Amino acid sequence: MTATESARLVIAYVSADEALHRDFVADPPDAHIVRVRNPDPTLRDEFEKAGFLVTPGWVNWTARVRSSEEEHLAGLVPGERKEVRRIRRILERDGVTLHVTHGIDEGDLERFLTLYDRQVARMPHGVNFLRRQLQRIRAERDQVIAGFASADGVMVAGCLGWIRRDGALLHLRFSATDTSGRLNGAVRAVYLKMFQAARERGCDWISLGNDPALYGHTVQPGLFVFKSRLGFTPVASRAVDVAIPGDEADLILDLGPLARPSVVLAHHDAPVSGPVPLDEAPRLRAVVLSDGLEHELQGLRTDAVAMIERRRVPARLRDDRGE
């Protein structure tokens, strides 16, 4: 067994044999999560019986590009359609402008980077993936599809995307927004502009990028709710990109520094081993983890996943959330 710690979350890595034969309740490691990397897909039922959740490790949120914006909006839940109309009225009233560019100049990239840095700094356990890939982004700046919202000449929301080599998918990999309450909806408006950009370029699909399958640590459950309400459906990232790492089997022993509730997106059907047509990608199930108190995810779009399961995770270690 080896263990790693990241932002106070301790993960113990074990072999499949130890995972399936050790009683982690009677003999628990000093860790919040026990994980098996790349578990044998034929043993998925055995892992689940042992209390593990077999997850894709990473998930990608995808939506079909409809023939018109009206058709896309018609597919959203009524509350979200109403929210889109409300946001547009506010942005128009406040003089917020929206624009999409093919390619990104250094000035816009620096402004977006500042916005992204500030957003990550506000997260409880944020990871600055944009900074990690900045050199490659600069080298490929001509291929970027960028969408921005600006108010009084200041960027308040934006996202960066790339069209997949086969031209079928616009992959939105980075997004950011400021903290202004009146502009919180600007990123929604930017996403709608990016749908239009995908439509104009003949893409069949659009994606909101890759997230860890666990919502409650580096990404929060609210992001899960937000993406589901925008009409996106989570699939295993390998359905989009074969280079994404393989499955993980997780046994959640203690929520520790995780959000209450947290959400894990786990396999519901047989996992995929590589790219598949997105409309044939196996659906995932959402497992809502709580410590026994009444924690609810408000506004969850339940049809985004195959099913929603709830699990209580008892407190075992001290609460390391730093609250």
Residue 314's pLDDT is what? 75
pLDDT band at residue 269 under the 50/70/90 scheme: confident
Q: Provide the percentage of residues in the chain whose pLDDT is more than 70.
A: 92
How much is the average pLDDT of 183-197? 90
Residue 274 pLDDT exceeds 80: no
Residue 20 pLDDT exceeds 50: yes
Report the C-alpha gap between 17 and 5 in whole angstroms.
Answer: 23
pTM: 0.89
Q: Among all chains, which residue has been given the structure tokens 């023939």? A: 67
**Alpha carbon 227 to chain centroid distance?**
8
What is the token pair recorded at 152?
Answer: 């009084």
3-state helix, strand, coil in the chain (%, to 5): 30, 30, 40
Compute the half-sphere exposure of residue 131: CA atoms within 13 Å on the CB side of its CA.
11
Residue 77's pLDDT is what? 84
Residue 298 pLDDT exceeds 70: no
Q: What confidence tens digit (pLDDT) does each residue in 68-113 have?
A: 999 999 999 888 899 999 999 999 998 999 999 999 999 999 999 9
**CATH T-level topology, domain 66-203:** Aminopeptidase (3.40.630)
How much is the average pLDDT of 145-170? 95
Q: What confidence tens digit (pLDDT) does each residue in 98-108 have?
A: 999 999 999 99
pLDDT band at residue 318 under the 50/70/90 scheme: very low
Higher pLDDT, 116 or 322: 116
Residue 270's pLDDT is what? 83
pLDDT band at residue 323 under the 50/70/90 scheme: very low
Q: Are 305 and 283 in contact (CB under 8 A)?
A: yes
Report the C-alpha gap between 176 and 156 in whole angstroms.
Answer: 8
Residue 321 pLDDT exceeds 50: no
Residue 240's pLDDT is what? 85
Residue 217 pLDDT exceeds 50: yes
Helix (H) or strand (E) holding 64: strand 58-64
Rg (CA), the chain: 20
Residue 300's pLDDT is what? 66
DSSP string, 159-184: EEEEE-TTSSEEEEEEEEE-S-GGGT
Report the C-alpha gap between 62 and 235 in whole angstroms.
Answer: 7
Name the CA dihedral angle for 234, 196, 78, 96, rounded to a multiple of 10 degrees.
110
pLDDT band at residue 322 under the 50/70/90 scheme: very low
pLDDT band at residue 295 under the 50/70/90 scheme: low
In the chain, where are the structural domains located? 66-203
Q: What confidence tens digit (pLDDT) does each residue in 9-18 have?
A: 999 999 999 9
Residue 271's pLDDT is what? 81
Query: Which amino acid, residue 277?
Result: P
**Residue among 26, 33, 6 nearest 14 (CA):** 33
Residue 202's pLDDT is what? 97
Q: Among all chains, which residue has been given the structure tokens 């993960």? A: 11
177 exposure class (CB count in 10 Å sphere: 0-12, 13-18, 19+):
buried
Report the C-alpha gap between 147 and 108 in whole angstroms.
Answer: 10
Average pLDDT, the chain: 90
Residue 156's pLDDT is what? 94
Residue 180's pLDDT is what? 65
How much is the average pLDDT of 195-217? 96
